[in-house]
Every structure is written in C-alpha cells, then in structure tokens.
C-alpha cells in the first residue's frame, strides 16, 4: 500500500510540473520579435526543427501517434526552437467549437511532450478554412498571420499562403496574394518585399504551401500547390532575387527537396497526416552531414518514382520524393547551414530506475537507431532537489564481451531546474554512437 501511495504522489508531482510549464513553449506571432531578441541576441550558431501536417485522418479522429513520437524526439534533441508549418487540425466544415477542441488536443500534446522547446507557427489551410476558425487560430497562436523576426545572424519570414476564401478574389485559393490580415500597415506581398530587404547572414522563409509541387508540377485543373503557375513564379523569382537560404513548406504529405542556385526548397509534410503515396527515394537523401540537395534535379515530368491514386488526385511521384513520416533539423553555424532529414523512432529513452522525483538514483538507456552519432541535449530526469548537486556518468555495453565500459563521450549535466523545495528537473546532454545505445546514471551528491 505504501508503494502505491509513493507512485501516486510522484505522479501528482509530475502532473503539477507539466501544468506549470504549459503555454511556455508556444510563441505568439505578435511576440516573436521580442522573443527572438531576448533568446537569439548575437547568436552565430543555433539549431531549429521544422515539422508540420499533423492533422488526423478525418473529422473527430484522434491525432496521429507519430506526432507524439516527433514531439518527444524534438524534446530530446532540444533545439533552440521549432517551427510548425501548419495543418494542426482537420478544420474544414467544422463548427468553431469543434475547431477549438481540435486545437486543444494538439496544444495539450505540445505542453506534455515539449514544454521546454519554444515553438512558432505558420497557418495551414486546415487551420484557417473560414474566418470564424481563423479567429480561434489567431487567439491561440497570435493575431499576425504573416510575421518576421531576427534570431542571431538569421532572418525568419513567415507568410500565409492560404487565407480563407472569403478574403480572396474569385479564382484564388493557395498562393502569394496581397491580402492584409488587419495587423499590418502593408498587405502581405508589399510587406514581404519590404522585410526581405533586411540584411542577414541567412534568410529562411516559411509558408504552408510548397513553391515546387512534387504532386502536380503541371498545375492544371486541380493544382495541389499554388493555384496558378504565374502566381508561383512571381514568388519564386522574388525569393531567388533576394538569395534566401531556404524555403520551408508542408501541405503535400511527403518529403521533397529541390535546389535553384544556392536556394533550397523543402516540402516537409510528413508530420502524421495521411501519406500521399509510395515510399520512393534515392539520391543520398540523408548522408549524416545533410543531403547534397543539388543532386535532386530530376524532372518530375519525366522521371517518376512511383504512382498512387488519392482521394482527389491520380498522382505520379518524382524520384527523390519520400512518402514517409519525417521532420527536419536545421543547424546554423556562422556562415554554414546543414539540413538533416529525421524520421520518427530515431531515438528512444527507457528509464530503468528512479525518474520519479523521489529516488536519489536514476538511470536510463538511450538508444540511437540511426547510423550516425547524435548528441541529445534534452534527456531529463525528475530528481529530489539537492543543494549539493548531482553526479552523472555513462556507459555502453561491448558488442563482443557484453561488458559495461565507460561511454566514449561522458554525459554532462546542462541544467538543474528547481520545480519545488523537494523536486528538480535535471537536464543531461548525452552523445550516442550510431546504431548503438548508452546507459546514463544520475545520483544525488
């Protein structure tokens, strides 16, 4: 009976901790500049994650489990921030109450799995299908539907490629239109041209709809990307003139990349929504250092990687497209940028002992299922609070003799957060060799 009480009490402490951390990670669009100036000042090196298209399969269905896995891995990687590129909910044809409930289901997962990672948002077409649902989105994520900020040596520009139909002219759907969200002096096209004049080492632009559609490159009667080639070309020309580093989008539930000159265009729609086709690929999609995206120049009109019939489309997939769940880690290091495509289930943490806020010793096995070495900065333990601090060590098991040996790179304690007089959260950095695992041991001094 005493044991049961102990676990219930520990669970209550965890619950209190999670509730107290709620809302800390969602950066309102109106506060993005202030947040970036406080957190990114003078930074020459940092990392961020891009993911999106996390909506369920259909109305009233639960959010996909793979979203939970992605969020957990974001927390383990512990980037400086994350950007969600839209489609959090089903949205279409629902009532405002249904939309609010759907948004709530998403934000609860963010609070639960990534309470310590700041997150910014770009609206997707499912998030703002009507003015009524758009108002709820703006209430939760910020009033500005297009916005920008400077983080360290880099400029981030978020545009809205899918205003509700009621705000667009006849024939417009997805695209780069000069619509004002009511929060700016300038409508979006004029505003974007102005803010992209800002100098920065790197410029990253985000929109929900991809510039290069892998699914309907001909545009045609039912284009999956921009409604017209002309509107797309206007934006493309502008982005190339400004020599941006990369444009990130989702909308098409695949991974796809294309380079034009030094500018890279990514489609990262594999966040949990139903995938669009067969798993295809090639072209050294992930080499560990980041793909050589210049090789992704196959003509989707000629060289097809696969074929699938969807609900609305009879689709051909270009070679190089990947119909897989995924997200991307972007690392800025002064004048260099690397782009690493990540897949869920890359990392797993199994707590073997403690981690309950009561035990003076805790341990965990951290597995890395990728073939590349990774350093995770977000491995956390719930420990009794100790004024004297903590000790951490690591080991791995030899393949041949099955004996524990010191980890090649010793884990480090990065942060001790006092939650209460008796509870602390201890964050550890651990480096795990490719296709391997290490044990991390943490104890009160």
Per-residue pLDDT reduced to its tens digit, 118-161: 999 999 999 999 999 999 999 999 999 999 999 999 999 999 99
pLDDT band at 216 (very low <50, low <70, confident <90, very high): confident
My answer on whether 266 and 361 are in the same domain is: no
Boundary residue ending a domain (342, 364, 395):
342
We report the CATH number of the domain holding residue 409 as 2.60.40
Query: Has residue 276 got a pLDDT over 90?
Result: no
pLDDT tens digits, one per residue of 14-73: 443 433 333 458 999 999 999 999 999 999 999 999 999 999 999 999 999 999 999 999
Question: Is this model's pTM higher than 0.75 or not?
Answer: yes
Contact present, 233 and 177 (Cβ < 8 Å):
no
Look over the chain and give the mean of its residue pLDDT values, rounded to a whole number.
88
For residues 174 and 220, membership in a common domain is answered with yes
108/149 same-domain check = yes
Strand partners, 413: 428
Q: Is the pLDDT of residue 293 over 60?
A: no
Domain end residue (candidates: 308, 326, 342)? 342
289 plus 201 within the same structural domain: yes
The listed range with the strongest mean pLDDT (20-24, 221-225, 412-416) is 412-416
Residues 402, 290 share a domain: no
What pLDDT score does 117 carry?
Answer: 96
Percent of the chain with pLDDT over 90: 78
Residues 158 and 33 in one domain: yes
According to the model, what pLDDT value does residue 316 have? Answer: 55
Rounded mean pLDDT, 253-274: 93
Report the pLDDT value the prediction gives residue 303, as an integer from 0 to 100. Answer: 42
Predicted pLDDT at 318: 62
User: Between residues 137 and 2, which one has the greater pLDDT?
Assistant: 137
Across 240-267, average pLDDT: 94
Domain count, the chain: 2
Domain that holds residue 409: 347-444
Report the alpha-carbon distance of residue 403 to residue 86 in Å, rounded.
47
Instruction: Specify the CATH number for the domain of residue 33.
Output: 3.60.21.10
What are the C-alpha distances in Å from 21 to residues 68, 127, 175, 378?
17, 25, 37, 15
Which of 283, 310, 342 lies at the terminal end of a domain, its last residue? Answer: 342
283: pLDDT strictly greater than 90: no
Shared domain for 61 and 142, answered yes or no, is yes
Q: Which tokens is 442 given?
A: 């943490």
Q: Give me the percent of the chain exceeding a pLDDT of 70.
A: 85
Looking at the fold, whether 168 and 209 belong to one and the same domain comes out as: yes
pLDDT, average across residues 238-251: 97
Question: For the ranges 5-14, 68-77, 156-165, 409-418, which has the lowest average pLDDT?
Answer: 5-14
Once rounded to an integer, what is the mean pLDDT over residues 381-407? Answer: 96
Q: pLDDT category, 284, cuts 50, 70, 90?
A: very low
The string over 75-105, giving b where at least 16 C-beta atoms fall within 10 Å of a residue's C-beta and e elsewhere, is bbbbbbbbbbbbbbbbbeebeeebbbebbee
Reported as a single tens digit per residue, the pLDDT across 182-210 is: 999 999 999 999 999 999 999 999 999 99
337 and 351 belong to one structural domain:
no
Lowest mean pLDDT across 63-77, 238-252, 273-287, 365-379: 273-287
Say yes or no: 79 and 166 in one domain.
yes
Q: Give the model's pLDDT for residue 279.
A: 61
Residues 285 and 380 in one domain: no
Q: What does the pLDDT look like over 315-369, one tens digit per residue?
A: 555 656 788 999 999 999 999 999 999 999 999 999 999 999 999 999 999 999 9
Least confident of 102-116, 139-153, 287-301: 287-301
Q: What is the pLDDT of residue 222?
A: 81
Q: Mark whether 228 and 321 lie in a shared domain.
A: yes
């Amino acid at each position: 009976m005493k044991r049961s009480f102990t676990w219930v009490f520990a669970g209550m402490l965890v619950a209190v901790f999670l509730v107290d951390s709620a809302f800390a990670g969602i950066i309102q669009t109106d506060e993005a500049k202030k947040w970036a100036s406080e957190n990114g000042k003078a930074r020459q090196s940092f990392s961020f994650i891009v993911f999106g298209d996390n909506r369920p399969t259909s109305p009233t269905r639960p959010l996909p489990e793979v979203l939970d896995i992605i969020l957990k891995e974001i927390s383990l990687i512990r980037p400086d921030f994350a950007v969600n590129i839209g489609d959090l909910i089903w949205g279409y044809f629902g009532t405002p109450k249904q939309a609010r409930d759907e948004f709530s289901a998403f934000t609860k997962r963010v609070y639960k799995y990534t309470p310590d990672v700041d997150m910014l948002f770009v609206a997707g077409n499912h998030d703002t299908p009507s003015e009524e649902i758009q108002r709820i989105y703006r209430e939760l994520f910020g009033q500005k539907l297009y916005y920008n900020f400077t983080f360290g040596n880099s400029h981030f520009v978020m545009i809205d490629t899918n205003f509700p139909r009621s705000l667009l002219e006849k024939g417009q759907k997805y695209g780069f239109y000069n619509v004002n969200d009511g929060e700016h002096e300038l409508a979006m096209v004029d505003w974007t041209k102005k803010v992209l004049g800002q100098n920065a080492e790197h410029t990253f632009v985000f929109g929900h709809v991809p510039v290069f559609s892998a699914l309907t490159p001909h545009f045609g009667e039912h284009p999956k990307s921009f409604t017209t080639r002309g509107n797309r070309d206007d934006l493309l020309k502008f982005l190339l003139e400004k020599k941006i580093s990369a444009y990130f989008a989702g909308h098409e539930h695949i991974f796809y990349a294309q380079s034009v000159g030094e500018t890279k265009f990514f489609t990262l729609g594999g966040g949990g929504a139903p995938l669009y086709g067969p798993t295809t690929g090639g072209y050294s999609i992930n080499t560990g250092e980041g793909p050589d995206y210049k090789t992704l120049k196959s003509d989707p009109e000629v060289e097809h990687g696969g074929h699938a019939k969807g609900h609305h489309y009879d689709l051909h997939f270009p070679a190089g497209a990947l119909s897989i769940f995924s997200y991307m880690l972007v690392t800025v290091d002064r004048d260099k940028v690397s782009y690493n495509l990540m897949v869920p289930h890359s990392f797993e943490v199994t707590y073997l002992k403690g981690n309950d806020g009561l035990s003076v010793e805790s341990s965990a096995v951290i597995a890395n299922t990728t073939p590349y070495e990774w350093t995770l900065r977000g491995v956390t333990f719930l420990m009794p609070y100790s004024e004297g601090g903590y000790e951490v060590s690591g080991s791995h098991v030899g393949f041949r003799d099955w004996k524990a040996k010191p980890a090649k790179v010793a884990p480090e304690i990065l942060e001790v957060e006092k939650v209460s007089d008796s509870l602390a959260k201890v964050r550890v950095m651990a480096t795990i060799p490719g296709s391997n695992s290490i044990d991390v041991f943490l104890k009160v001094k």
